[in-house]
Each structure stands twice: as C-alpha cells, then as structure tokens.
C-alpha cells in the first residue's frame, strides 16, 4: 500500500489534513501520529479489524494488548468500568499526560484491542495534535508505538517511515516527540495499584497523590509477564549492546578496552556516552545521548541514538550506565531491555573483570 506522509505545522491551518486522517481512521485505516512520548500507530479501538491490522503492520504478536487513546477525560467511562476514587484522582492530576491507566474493560472494547484481556489500557495524551486526531477519528484510538515489533520506539517521523512505510495508510509528521520514552503504565484494576512500566510520571509522583503503590517486579526484571508486552524482546538495536557499570573512569577504560577487542576481530563498534564523557573515547565510534546534568535530554535521544547505530550496522555497542533517579529509572529500564540485560559490573577500586 502507498503511505501518505503528511506534515502538520499548525493544527488550525492544517485542520483539513487532520480531518482527512480522522476519516481514514473511521474507515478502519491506520494512521501513525506523534504524541508527547513516542509516535503511535493508530487504528479505531472499537473496530476489531483495525486492531488486527495494527498487529499485522507492526509484526506484533496479537496477545500483546494495545493502549486506547482518548481526547477527553469523560470518555474513559465509555471504555473502562469500575473506576475507583483513586483512579479519578490520578486522572485529575496526570491527564492529559504520559501516564497509561489499566481498568476493567467495557463490553464494547473488542478483545482484539486488549489482546484477549478483560482489562483495558487507557491514555489521554498531552500532545494537541494527537488529541485533535483522536477526536477526528471517532474518539477511541488504539495505538501501540509506531515501530516494527522489536525495534526501538520512534521519536521522529523519519523513524516511523523507516519501519512502516508501505505498511500503513498515513503518517502524520508533527515533529519530534518531547519526552522520547513511552508512558508510565499504572494498573488500577488491582489493589494496591502496580506500576507496570516506568516513564515520565514516576512512582514518587503517583504516590504523592494516591499513597503507596507497588512496582512490578518485572520492571526490576523477572520473567513473569503481567504487561504482556514485557515478555517480548523489546527496544532492541541490531548490534549487541552491553552496558558497563561502575565508577566513571573505570567505565571509560573498560569500554576503551572492549572497543580495541572488537576492532581486532574486524567488527564494527559503537559507544553510547554522555556530553560529559564523550571526549574520553575515539571520536569515530562515540555518540553522546545527552547531558548527565539533565536526564530529560538522555530520555529524549536514547531511541534515536540506538537507531543510528542500527543504520551504521554496528556489530557491538558499549554503553555507559545512568543513575536510576527519577526519569533515570525509566531510562535504565529501556536501556537494560535493549541490552537484554548484558551488563559488565565493575567493582570499586578494582581494575574490572
Ligand atoms: O507512550 C505510550 O504509551 C505510547 C504512545 C503511542 O501512547 N504507546 C505505547 O504502546 O508505548 P505499546 O503498545 O508500545 O506499549 C503498551 C504496553 C505494552 O507493554 C502492553 O503489553 C501494555 O502496555 N498493556 C496494554 N494493555 C494492557 C493491559 N490491559 N494490561 C496490562 N498491560 C497492558
Ligand atoms: Mg512499543
């Protein structure tokens, strides 16, 4: 199929283009669109066939449920039931924004959308264009990240084009995503609520509003999958990624040593570092992902940098690690997944290995 790529500069001047995209959605078509987190691949959430098409376009297993995106808070009741006072409070404070909530589902949401589950994930994005499109498309848009299954989530329209050109009806290019990591996911269908995926809205921020929640052990990593998406290999670059943890200069010398080993094998290598440390590495291999003084910059560029390594067909990537502070927890969660948990831990005061 031919994919229309449409640039949206301004939601008022480009109104007709948004309406055209909305009509495509209403007719069961697929439209990729930007949100404040990552680009989503949208289809009508209440149309089982649209959900099936999404799975097919992404090459995603159909038991991995989709998030239903809405444009106004009241609409949550149309797709979710048994919304507790806790749920009301969380929505009041964090919506619109990068937080997905899981509730028991209403009958009208097809099981294809929820991957066979009795619960539904709902999010009201903060991105204006996203909300306008959702409205134009009928109000309930299922949208996983707009990448091929197993690739890093797209944070630019060009990433979506790379993965999905020819597989979807339209890509709305609304510029780069502001956050760059997917939404936090909070399961409110259980008590106490469980944070299934860390993101821009952190555990502390949620607890300040509704009191103690649990953090899924799978975010800290076990094999049991509660958010079904967690059981698949995710965010994976083509090259083999290893994270090196430890004291700064020890990390640098370990990475430099690994780089030499890879070169000796005649393979291609990449280094993922920060503004503060990039000058310690050979220029031709290193990419800075952002500054350690502002972790939002790292979140913002992480997936893009991983994709750049893919394009350069690097065989091995060595990455510094980042402190697991606020956003840092989400950053390390994605990085560890991308690395399939390959980590070299250097002990303090020792040469390493
Ligand atoms: O920021 C985001 O959340 C982006 C943008 C486009 O909104 N979307 C996104 O969707 O990241 P996706 O499909 O890539 O990730 C959704 C995750 C999956 O891991 C899925 O298993 C989980 O949410 N999920 C969806 N519905 C669920 C449910 N009912 N119960 C548990 N987990 C669910
Ligand atoms: Mg995804």
pLDDT tens digits, the chain, 353 residues: what are they? 999 999 999 999 999 999 999 999 999 999 999 999 999 999 999 999 999 999 999 998 888 899 999 999 999 999 999 999 999 999 999 999 999 999 999 999 999 999 999 999 999 999 999 999 999 999 999 999 999 998 899 999 999 999 999 999 999 999 999 999 999 999 999 999 999 999 999 999 999 999 999 999 766 553 334 455 555 556 778 899 999 999 999 999 999 999 999 999 999 999 999 999 999 999 999 999 999 999 999 999 999 999 999 999 999 999 999 998 889 999 999 999 999 999 999 987 655 44
Q: Point out the ligand nearest to the CA of residue 143.
A: 1
Residues with Cβ within 8 Å of 4's Cβ and at least 6 positions away in sequence, in order, are 169, 170, 171
Q: Is 41 in the pocket of ligand 1 (CB under 6 A)?
A: no
Q: Is 185 in the pocket of ligand 1 (CB under 6 A)?
A: yes
For residues 67 and 120, the answer to whether their CB atoms sit within 8 Å is no
For residues 237 and 309, the answer to whether their CB atoms sit within 8 Å is yes
Name the residue at shortest CA distance from atom 19 of ligand 1.
229
Name the residue at shortest CA distance from atom 32 of ligand 1.
227
For residues 26 and 42, the answer to whether their CB atoms sit within 8 Å is no
Test site for ligand 1: of 57, 140, 144, most ligand atoms within 8 A of the Cβ:
144
Q: Is 100 in the pocket of ligand 1 (CB under 6 A)?
A: yes
Q: What is the DSSP letter of 145?
A: B
For residues 40 and 182, the answer to whether their CB atoms sit within 8 Å is no
pLDDT computed for residue 244 by the predictor? 98
**Atom in ligand 1 nearest the alpha carbon of residue 37:** 1
User: 3-class SS at 288?
Assistant: strand
Neighbours of ion ligand 2 (CB under 5 A): 145
Distance CA 143, CA 164 (A): 14
**Atom in ligand 1 nearest the alpha carbon of residue 143:** 6
Number of Cβ within a 10 Å radius of residue 247: 13
Q: What pTM did the predictor assign? A: 0.94
Q: Is 101 in the pocket of ligand 1 (CB under 6 A)?
A: no
**Angle CA 55–61–62, to nearest 5:** 65
Q: Is 40 in the pocket of ligand 1 (CB under 6 A)?
A: yes
User: 3-class SS at 161?
Assistant: helix
pLDDT computed for residue 237 by the predictor? 86
pLDDT computed for residue 78 by the predictor? 98
Q: Is the bond leading into 290 cis (omega within 30 degrees of zero)?
A: no
Name the residue at shortest CA distance from atom 13 of ligand 1.
144
Q: Is 183 in the pocket of ligand 1 (CB under 6 A)?
A: yes
Torsion of CA 48, 49, 51, 55, to 10 degrees: 140
For residues 281 and 273, the answer to whether their CB atoms sit within 8 Å is yes
For residues 69 and 42, the answer to whether their CB atoms sit within 8 Å is yes
pLDDT computed for residue 72 by the predictor? 97
**Atom in ligand 1 nearest the alpha carbon of residue 40:** 6
**Atom in ligand 1 nearest the alpha carbon of residue 41:** 6
Q: Is 123 in the pocket of ligand 1 (CB under 6 A)?
A: yes
Q: Is 228 in the pocket of ligand 1 (CB under 6 A)?
A: yes
Distance CA 116, CA 98 (A): 24
Residue whose entry in the numeric block shows the structure tokens 């106004």: 72
Torsion of CA 95, 97, 98, 99, to 10 degrees: 0
**Atom in ligand 1 nearest the alpha carbon of residue 125:** 7
């Amino acid at each position: 199929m031919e994919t229309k790529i449409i640039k949206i500069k301004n939601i008022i001047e480009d109104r007709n283009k948004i309406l055209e995209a909305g009509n495509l959605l209403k007719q069961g078509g697929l439209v990729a669109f930007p949100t404040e987190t990552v680009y989503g691949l949208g289809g009508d959430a209440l149309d089982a066939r649209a959900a099936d098409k999404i799975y097919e376009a992404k090459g995603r297993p159909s038991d991995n449920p989709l998030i239903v995106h809405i444009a106004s808070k009241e609409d949550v009741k149309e797709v979710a039931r048994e919304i507790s006072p806790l749920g009301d409070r969380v929505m009041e404070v964090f919506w619109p924004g990068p937080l997905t909530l899981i509730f028991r589902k209403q009958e009208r949401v097809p099981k294809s959308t929820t991957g066979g589950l009795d619960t539904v994930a709902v999010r009201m994005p903060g991105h204006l264009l996203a909300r306008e499109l959702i409205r134009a498309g009928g109000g309930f848009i299922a949208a996983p990240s707009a990448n091929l299954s197993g690739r890093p989530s797209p944070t630019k329209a060009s990433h979506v084009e790379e993965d999905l050109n020819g597989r979807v009806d339209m890509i709305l290019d609304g510029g780069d995503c502001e956050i760059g990591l997917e939404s936090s996911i909070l399961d409110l269908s259980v008590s106490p609520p469980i944070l299934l995926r860390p993101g821009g809205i952190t555990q502390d921020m949620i607890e300040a509003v509704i009191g103690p929640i649990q953090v899924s052990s799978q975010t800290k990593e076990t094999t049991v999958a509660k958010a079904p998406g967690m059981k698949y290999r995710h965010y994976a670059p083509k090259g083999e990624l290893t994270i090196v943890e430890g004291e700064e200069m020890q990390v640098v010398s370990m990475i430099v040593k690994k780089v030499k080993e890879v070169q000796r094998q005649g393979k291609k290598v990449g280094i993922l570092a920060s503004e503060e440390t990039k000058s310690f590495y050979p220029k031709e291999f290193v990419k800075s992902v952002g500054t350690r003084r502002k972790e939002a910059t790292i979140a913002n560029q992480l997936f893009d940098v991983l994709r750049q390594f893919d394009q350069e067909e690097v065989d091995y990537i060595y990455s510094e690690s980042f402190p697991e502070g606020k956003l840092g927890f989400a950053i390390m969660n994605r990085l560890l997944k991308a690395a399939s948990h390959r980590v070299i831990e250097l002990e303090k005061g020792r040469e390493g290995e």
